[in-house]
Amino acid sequence: MKKIPLLIVMIIACCSFALAQQVVTGKVTDANGTPLAGVSVSVKSGKRGTTTGPDGTFRISAPSGAVLVFTNVGYTDKEVSVANGSGNIILEQSARSLQEVIVTGYGTQNKKQVTGSISKISGDEIKMQPLGSFDKALQGKIPGLLSQSQSGQPGSPAVVTIRGQGSINGSTDPLYIIDGVQVNAGDFATINPGDIESFTVLKDASSTAIYGSRGANGVIVITTKRGISGKTRIDYDFQYGYSELPTDRLKLMTSAEKLQYEFYDRPDYGPNPFGWTPAEVDSLSKLNYHIKDILFRKGITQQHQISASGGNDKTHFYLSGSLFDQQGVVITTGLKRYTGRINIDNSFGNFKVGLNTTFGYSRLIGTRENDQYIGSPLNAIRWYNPYINLYDADGKYQIDYLQGQPNPLQELLENHGNSDEIKGVGSAFIEYNIPWVNGLRARTMWGGDLSEEESFQYLDRTTDQGSQSQGGNGEVDRAYAKTFRYVGTTSISFQRTIGDHEINASIYNEIIQRKIENFGFSGFGLVGPFKNEAGITPGTATNGYIPTVTGSATNSGLVSYFVDGIYGYKRKYYLNAGARRDGSSRLSKDQRWANFGHIGANWIMSEENFLQGTKNWLNALKLKASYGSSANQGVGDFETRELFGPTVYNGTGGLVLTNLARTLTWERKVEFNTGVEFTMFKGRFGGTVEVYRNITKDLFLDRQLSRTSGFQSITNNLGKLQNEGIEVSLNGDVIRTRDFTWSLEANYTFNKNKLLDQNGQPDNINGIFINRVGGRINSFYVVRYAGVDPQNGDALYYKKDGKTTTNVYDPDDRVIIGPSDPPQFGGFSSSWNYKGIGLDVLFSYAIGGYAYNNDRLNVENPIYWFSNIAESMLREWQKPGDITDIPSPFNDLHAETTRFIEKTNYLRLRNVMLSYSLPASILNKIKFRSVRVFAQGQNLYVWHHFQGYDPEVVTGVLGGSVYPQLKTVTFGLNVGF
């Protein structure tokens, strides 16, 4: 009898346990809906587990509220809460899988089939970075791709090169394709990065030759998001933060130091040049106006995006809208962007149709930079004396004691301008699966890119810029630009697997047309309170206010025919080949057509029988090689034609020859690439190593002409250039448990360019740069600075032998110092995640580049003593015996030396993000699909020795202060329903 109560308790407990269990069934597929067999399904923190069957279905018992973990080699692990008795699970492919699908722009390839050099990153990796132009987010992520910020102004694009500069005078920009339509990098400020699904970078001829002459500098294929079958998903993303200038390593004098320098260290200008009393000098020396705090601010950034996506077996849709508002750190500057997107496709019968379209509006308010003008705020904080207030005692703009310098605050507040752009990019397609031939498909896609831009500038008559306008009394400028490009691509393709044989072949025809129209107007002599065209004085022959009107219209076309094919045998041997014929209106009539081709092969060694014993640690091993040709037509639309332009002589108008007719053919590029790809330890470690050599022939170079021709030079096809290098990309999961993951990624690129020929000339010297046959292009060519003679304060220079020194500057002692572009660059990242808490860190680096620091020259130049100058000038030589590196102010300044050339090596903390995602157990209770909060920082710190804000300089020469990359901190929220 005593055992009966115990038995009852055990029965109740067992019943309770049984009631707490439930049978979960479902199906696991990839993003395309293909069932996945052999997927491991387990209960998190439990012992139960199963695998999916051939059709992707599974069945498992799990406690109510438990979390199921789905894992499969080549796919990213996924955790799903047990909310009901069944469910459909979609696994995303891992970047290390050879089963990954690669979008090439004209179609897709399985990563196994790829014989060329292709890199891919997810759009989610960059969508929340607070950047006005998303190409800057590629920095440090892709081997072979060098992304350099030419300006930190809101909306400014990066300068991107792939595998070095393949041209000297022609275009070096890669081709950007969004959903099959070509776009320009300058328009990225109107495109929402949150709509991007992936970036695919095509780097060798096997990958780019299908784009013919457009793909000579590499191709970046951007695929936007699509809806997937299932319940409609609503996503909202928000972030808010601020930006500020980074640390300035070019130190300037304080008020006391500057007054000491003016009064006592520069006796050549005489004591007390401004006639101030000792009391006034003492009072001024205690002032240190931080002009940076007046002209600059913490720029607020906010971003909102909402999207809806979904679909069924026949129709898929994705809709989005976004707002991006970024204040510039310079007062009055900023960027606002509004975008919308509609992507939809539908299948019916043997047909599939689709529409991808985006539209955007942006307003950019910028400021002057990279010139010598003191009114530029970045120059002003360099040159402006720290003891001078921007306002006088009456609260008006200070104009006394400025020594001819304009008041930068007045220039910013009284002058204003903006640039408004409306942009639309769209494409529509129709596909037909021909029923009577299995695997045969016809497709046509037509798309367009339309941009309309209006810019306005007002220069007040009271400002320095206004006084420099025609007539010296203010100016209003307004300009319009309209660009329209359309593309039509029609193809017939055949794709089929017959036993051990895979066949994928396509034939294409493509038509591209581009038209650009510009109109500009400038009016002068502003009167009254009006800050637009209403204040313009009508021009007459006597008052000097004759307005100017400009305009132009240009168009170009490209017609192409091409074929491409892939053959695979036993899923381990692949051959890819293709050919293309392009005809361009830009080149001479007898040189307009050109042929290109490519061939590539790969071998999946890991599928061979002799490597089957390594399957427990070597999951995939692929060897590949490719060879092909492409070309560059990157010249102006009318470069080959004889052109005339207006002129005036003695008051009489006329026409003069402005461009000589010439024969120009394509810059032709031949490329070779070989590499190895591998995946190890059940997908936990993988990588790629590639070696390439590219040779560009018939370079666009300038040939000097006789002065009697009226022209200095003419562009012809005259040279040959080589780029060769190595790329390494590694990634791996250091720790991968159910609660904690830690992954690392790193990439490295070394690129060496060498000029092989330039019309028989060994050297081509342009200022402080040289292009020498056998050497790198755009190398600095100057005399080496050797310091200061302690006896007389003269600057010393090394002779050409590098051993002896002299105080006589001799241009014949010039030597090559190094290239302006870094030959070595890359990035590395680390990602941690513990129970929904994530920390992601990205570094980028560059090694081996040089820049001429003209910023430093301006503040270390003794003739500019009346402006603020560098703190280093306190070390200026004063008397015999002084040991210093700053020569006497009476010494002739020869700027074309290594004194102002600096290395641009850097290590940048590019991005840090700390995030927390709510667990599934909480999400089910609050009826949300996902919730994540995060904080992130951009450019938080840069390790470098460059004397300035940022060593990342595109041109190699600083003409003036450049808007640096900003330090940015934001906080955000991602919510999914």
CA of residue 800 relative to chain centroid, distance? 39
Report for 268-282, 769-783, 864-878: range of highest mean pLDDT: 769-783
Q: Which residues pair with 670 in a beta bridge?
A: 629, 695
pLDDT tens-digit map of 858-876: 889 888 777 888 999 999 9
Amino acid at 792: N
Mean pLDDT computed over 594-616: 90
Q: Which residues pair with 817 in a beta bridge?
A: none
* Under 8 Å between Cβ of 938 and 135: no
- pLDDT value for 956: 61
Look at residues 281, 129, 111, 107 and name the one whose alpha carbon lies nearest to residue 210: 107
Q: Is the pLDDT of residue 913 over 50?
A: yes
Q: How far apart are CA 861 and CA 734, in angstroms?
A: 53
Q: How far apart are CA 555 and CA 543, in angstroms?
A: 38
Q: Is the pLDDT of residue 848 over 60?
A: yes
- pLDDT value for 898: 95
Which whole-number Å values give the CA distances from 407 to 397, 398, 472, 490, 921, in the listed order? 7, 7, 17, 59, 61
Q: Is the pLDDT of residue 798 over 50?
A: yes
Could you tell me the domains of the chain? 21-90 (2.60.40.1120)
Kindly state the tokens that stand for 660.
């000589």
- pLDDT value for 762: 92
- pLDDT value for 779: 94
- pLDDT value for 100: 67
pLDDT tens-digit map of 471-483: 889 999 999 999 9
- The residue that leads in pLDDT, 64 or 219, is 219
Q: How far apart are CA 817 and CA 798, in angstroms?
A: 13
pLDDT tens-digit map of 376-407: 777 777 788 888 888 888 888 887 666 667 88
- pLDDT value for 96: 55
- pLDDT value for 8: 43
Q: How far apart are CA 294 and CA 167, in angstroms?
A: 43
The mean pLDDT of the chain is 85
Spatial CB neighbours of 298, under 8 Å, sequence gap ≥ 6: 242, 243, 244, 329
pLDDT tens-digit map of 809-847: 999 999 999 999 999 999 999 999 999 999 999 999 999
CA-based max dimension of the chain: 129
Q: How far apart are CA 408 and CA 384, in angstroms?
A: 9
- pLDDT value for 667: 85
Spatial CB neighbours of 16, under 8 Å, sequence gap ≥ 6: none
Q: How far apart are CA 302 and CA 325, in angstroms?
A: 5
* Under 8 Å between Cβ of 664 and 717: yes
**Residue 535: strand, helix, or coil:** helix
Q: Is the pLDDT of residue 309 over 90?
A: yes
- pLDDT value for 688: 96
pLDDT band, residue 133 (cuts 50/70/90): confident
Q: Is the pLDDT of residue 222 over 80?
A: yes
Spatial CB neighbours of 589, under 8 Å, sequence gap ≥ 6: none
Q: Is the pLDDT of residue 14 over 50?
A: no
Percent of the chain with pLDDT over 70: 88
Q: Is the pLDDT of residue 6 over 60?
A: no
pLDDT tens-digit map of 421-453: 999 999 999 999 999 988 899 999 999 999 999
Q: Is the pLDDT of residue 1 over 50?
A: no
- pLDDT value for 387: 87
pLDDT tens-digit map of 35-93: 777 787 888 766 677 878 767 788 888 887 778 888 775 577 787 877 655 577 888 76
Torsion of CA 702, 704, 707, 709, to 10 degrees: -60
- pLDDT value for 709: 66
Mean pLDDT computed over 599-607: 93
Kindly state the tokens that stand for 636.
């102006």
Q: How far apart are CA 729 and CA 744, in angstroms?
A: 11
- pLDDT value for 86: 55
**Residue 8: strand, helix, or coil:** helix
* Under 8 Å between Cβ of 199 and 222: yes
Segment among 67-81, 138-152, 786-800 with least mean pLDDT? 67-81
Look at residues 161, 311, 97, 283 and name the one whose alpha carbon lies nearest to residue 225: 311
pLDDT tens-digit map of 664-710: 778 889 999 999 999 998 888 999 999 999 999 988 877 776 666 66
Look at residues 239, 299, 243 and name the one whose alpha carbon lies nearest to residue 966: 243
The angle at the Cα of 512, spanning 509 to 514, to the nearest 5 degrees, equals 175
Quick one: DSSP state of residue 263? Answer: I
Helix (H) or strand (E) run with residue 291 in it: helix 291-295
- pLDDT value for 628: 93
Which whole-number Å values give the CA distances from 432 to 313, 508, 536, 584, 683, in the listed order? 17, 15, 60, 30, 37
Return the residue matching tokens 């562009």. 715
Helix%, strand%, coil% for the chain, nearest 5: 15, 50, 35
- The residue that leads in pLDDT, 296 or 638, is 296
Q: Is the pLDDT of residue 752 over 60?
A: yes
pLDDT band, residue 313 (cuts 50/70/90): confident
* Under 8 Å between Cβ of 453 and 419: yes
Helix (H) or strand (E) run with residue 792 in it: none
- The residue that leads in pLDDT, 55 or 358, is 358
Q: How far apart are CA 527 and CA 189, in angstroms?
A: 35
- Sheet containing 219-224, strands listed edge to edge, beginning at the edge strand earlier in sequence: 118-122, 196-202, 219-224, 175-178, 181-183
Q: Is the pLDDT of residue 311 over 80?
A: yes
pLDDT tens-digit map of 543-596: 888 888 988 888 889 999 999 999 999 989 999 999 999 998 887 777 888 898
